[in-house]
Copies of this chain bind each other. A is one copy, B any other.
Amino acid sequence: MIIITAKSIVKQDKIDEFINLAKELVKKSVKESGCISYNLYQDINYENMFTFIEEWESKKAIKSHNDSDHFKTIVPELEKLREKSADINLYKKI
């Protein structure tokens, strides 16, 4: 299993737009084969800080996620709403 965290700092005036788009990505991604879980979280102290926490069965599942239409359509739009690029890590449990 591989865990992905993707932390975003969103422009203050784009928070609602980010949430709506991100929720759409979540809805479509959880249906993908190899996706164990895919959730969106908002920082309880900083309303413009978010992270996805995703659990994937394999690198292969992640690759097909990155190649999916919804990823290729939504992720560039999310990028426009961020103050800077997302902070992305791929982790293994130890």
Contact = CB atoms under 8 A, between A and B. Distances in A.
Interface of A: 2-3, 5, 7, 19, 23, 39-46, 49, 51, 53, 89-94
Given A3-B53, A5-B5, A5-B51, A90 B43 contact: yes
Q: What 6 pairs across the A-B complex have the smallest Cβ distances?
A: A41-B91, A44-B90, A42-B94, A43-B89, A44-B92, A40-B94
This protein's copies in its complex = 2
Majority secondary structure, A binding face: strand
A2 B44 CA distance: 9
A41 B7 contact: no
13 contacts: A3-B41, A3-B53, A5-B5, A5-B7, A7-B89, A19-B94, A43-B91, A44-B90, A44-B91, A44-B92, A46-B89, A49-B89, A51-B91
